[in-house]
Amino acid sequence: MRDSHSESYKAAGVDVTAGYEAVERIKPLVESTYIPGVMGTLGGFGGLFAPDVSGMKRPVLVSGTDGVGTKLKLAFLMDKHDTVGIDCVAMCVNDIVCSGAAPLFFLDYLAVGKNVPSRIEAIVSGVTEGCRQAGCALIGGETAEMPGFYPDDEYDLAGFSVGLADEANMLDGSALQEGDLLIGLGSSGVHSNGFSLVRKVFGIDSKAVLDQNFPELGCTLGEELLKPTRIYVRAVRCMLHHGIAIRAISHITGGGLYENVPRMMKEGLTARIQKSAFPVPPIFELIAKTGKIPERDMYNTFNMGVGLVVAIPREQVGDALDLLAKAGERAYVIGSVVKGGSGVELV
């Protein structure tokens, strides 16, 4: 590939040699995520992975795909690109773990207006950090230079992940029972949802807006909003490994608690959540106050401080909270499972 170049393509805005430089920069980052099962190395036409299915009666592949969304606009304004890759991984693997699966590998898709190798390296460094946090491997991806489609200093980032579970151990909510308790795992902030509303509320159209300091945040607005999405894979896998009989899990993404919690409930049962049982981070109070957003809309748009909801038997709550604390998670008993209703009730 070192002899590959095209002056005509470069004149059209696509620099293939910059692409090769970017690959060389990210190769050690990618290889730092490799786990048993990875086959080959970066540069092939497909990412290869040989899963270990020994001991499984019926292996099931579980996949998830997502992007970072308009949170990227903040990265562009702040010229900070090393954390959005964590968001990209998190939005995929947090979905996968809701079924009890362990993420195996991840692939990303990065479309840029102009290939700047150092910026590609920063973006992929975030992706690889997310993969390491999730315990999965980055086994491939695609970087597309698209002049005239994206501005030179903008890009889009998306990806997908594949996990593995034994069908007998998958979590689908069927085991939920009246009286089960709900544990909420604390979020790191807004995560990667609701940013169209966030940008409207604060009028985010320049770096100056993001450089504003708010005493209640303890940092600038931009620093708060760019905090990467928390990845919950290791926490969930830890609970399962130690025999916690998780009944169901909900990843609180776009649509907030009102939209996502019902997705883990079975018919005839409702998750009754006590809003006073967990702290709402200051950023959400600031959004609500600045934008005059009704409370119902806040809980139907944002995670409000709870990134994952886990339903477990009442008698195992103490053990689960101890395990989560040792894993570095902020966890709260936020409610219980009751009969009837419409899936979720916030009181």
* pLDDT score of 201 more than 70: yes
Report the pLDDT value the prediction gives residue 322, as an integer from 0 to 100.
97
- Please tell me whether residue 290 adopts helix, strand or coil conformation: helix
- Tell me: the pLDDT tens digits for 21-36? 888 888 989 899 999 9
Residue 88, CB half-sphere, CA atoms under 13 Å: how many? 27
**Alpha helix locations (H) across the chain?**
7-11, 16-31, 72-78, 84-97, 117-134, 195-202, 207-210, 221-225, 233-241, 256-260, 282-291, 295-299, 317-326
CA distance 189 to 132: 21
CA distance 187 to 90: 12
Task: Grade residue 206 by pLDDT with cuts at 50, 70 and 90.
Answer: very high
Q: Which amino acid is at 54?
A: S
Report the pLDDT value the prediction gives residue 342, as an integer from 0 to 100.
80
- Report the percentage of the chain scoring pLDDT > 90: 89
Name all domains of the chain by residue range, CATH numbers in brackets: 7-46+57-169 (3.30.1330.10), 181-346 (3.90.650.10)
Report the pLDDT value the prediction gives residue 341, as an integer from 0 to 100.
80
- Would you tell me how many other CB atoms lie within 10 Å of the CB of residue 336? 17
Mean per-residue pLDDT, 239-262: 97
Q: Tally helices (H) and strands (E) across the chain.
A: 13, 14
- Is residue 304 within 8 A of residue 284, CB to CB? The reply is yes
Report the pLDDT value the prediction gives residue 93, as an integer from 0 to 100.
98
